Homo-oligomer: A and B are copies of this chain.
């Protein structure tokens, strides 16, 4: 219910905005946008077709454009950034945190972002260049360099006085980092601990050791797993010398968790997880075409299998009618296993220690469901076509294919992962190719032996 209400709100605004746009009431749209938070404007832009999106962007407050860009998903952000002048980009990113500026600029071609950097003042440029030097998918690329450090030998009261003098804390601050005179990280103290500590107690007595600081080159998915498992709100980032270089907060990690999980779903359907729902037609057609090309090969492979049995098909049309059933069931059963294994690999549940157990389990699941559906389909075919041998043949092919589907469903993603190929992307297609080929070969092969 609440779900519907909230989405209705967004779409009411969207419809109001669309109507105002159609009628050319740009002043009204500008006023609507002024009342919205940057993250809601980002959402509105993402939910708009290309033309409306462009007009809307022109009507946003330039002061807020930097923050809106930071909230947009990559594909949509890139589309907008590509059309902005360097001076404009430098202006809208002024005052933003360096990791957010790096996100906004990362997709620009080299010479374009050099132009943008040239427009910034020296300190900002230096910080952004540092952020851009880290890989986008690493701790360095995600971290903020805006954090508060204190010494261990001061009292809680001194820290509070310092914070009051300093004023507002960096966004999403939940802990202060304790460093020694060489800026080496030695611990951290949460604000929750700070406010419950007696004023005369020294920080080092109540701080926690930072033995789980994040290395600057750690992979973002791994960081997300750590945050999720440890229930962290933020974590310090250190370089190879245990020198404190940044801070990662849960709000950035939440985006990674969503992206990783979406990645599995989108990849299994052969889509890029960054694909903009409202991308231009040609762009979408091109990006999807690659996957269709892979499937053409798979479909032709299956057709070549049938082709080998052309003589059999020529003699008995009933075989052609029934030949799609076994591959279809094998594909569905195998993809169930593939989805389970892909999730297990992503969350780190599956490794050398338990792959064999899982393989034997999935083979047995295939055996049980294979027996069940072999009996049912065999029975249906006997009743439908009145041919007991044909029923037995399809039952045998079904049983074989469902067992193969279970085994391949475990082996394919695990092996792809070993070869560093994304199992979510290639797993389903490889599986379907195998179940198609096995299903057709066994069914048509048995038919050739026993019926022709």
A residues in contact (CB < 8 Å) with B? 1-3, 6-8, 10-11, 14-15, 18, 37, 39-40, 43, 46-49, 160, 163-164, 166-169, 172-174, 191-192, 194-199, 215, 217-219, 221-222, 225-231, 233, 250-251, 253-255, 257-258, 260-262, 264-266, 268-271, 275, 277-278, 281-282, 284-285, 288-289, 291-292, 295-296, 298-300, 302-303, 306-307, 310-311, 313-314, 317-325, 327-329, 332-333, 335-336, 338-344, 348-354, 357-358, 361, 364-365, 368-369, 372-373, 376-377, 380, 436
Contacts and interface: CB of A to CB of B under 8 A. Distances in A.
A436 to B, nearest CB: 8
A336 B271 contact: yes
Contacts of A255: 228
A269 B268 contact: yes
A269 to B, nearest CB: 4
B231 A251 contact: yes
Contacts of A357: 49, 278
A380 B324 contact: no
Nearest to A326: B299
B196 A194 contact: no
A191 to B, nearest CB: 4
Contacts of A169: 192, 195-196
Contact of A222 (B3, B37, B164, B342): B3
Contacts of A268: 265, 268-269, 339
A265 B348 contact: no
B47 A350 contact: yes
Contacts of A306: 320-321, 324
Contacts of A372: 285, 289
A259 to B, nearest CB: 9
A298 B328 contact: yes
Contact of A250 (B250, B282, B318, B329): B250
Interface centre among A8, A291, A325, by most chain B C-beta atoms within 10 angstroms, is A325
Contact of A14 (B2, B318, B354): B354
B269 A254 contact: no
Given A233-B251, A250-B254, A261-B261, 19 more contacts: A2-B222, A8-B351, A11-B351, A14-B351, A39-B229, A49-B357, A164-B195, A227-B254, A265-B343, A271-B339, A285-B365, A289-B372, A291-B332, A303-B325, A306-B320, A310-B318, A313-B313, A314-B317, A324-B327
A294 to B, nearest CB: 9
Nearest to A345: B7
Given A313-B320, A336-B291, A351-B7, A196 B168 contact: yes
Contact of A228 (B1, B2, B254): B254
Contact of A292 (B173, B226, B354, B369): B369
Given A11-B351, A174-B174, A313 B307 contact: no
A373 B294 CA distance: 12
A201 B169 CA distance: 18
Nearest to A289: B369
Contacts of A342: 265
B265 A261 contact: yes
A46 to B, nearest CB: 6
11 contacts: A2-B218, A6-B226, A39-B229, A47-B348, A49-B357, A168-B196, A169-B192, A173-B192, A257-B261, A281-B364, A311-B317
B321 A303 contact: yes
Nearest to A73: B347
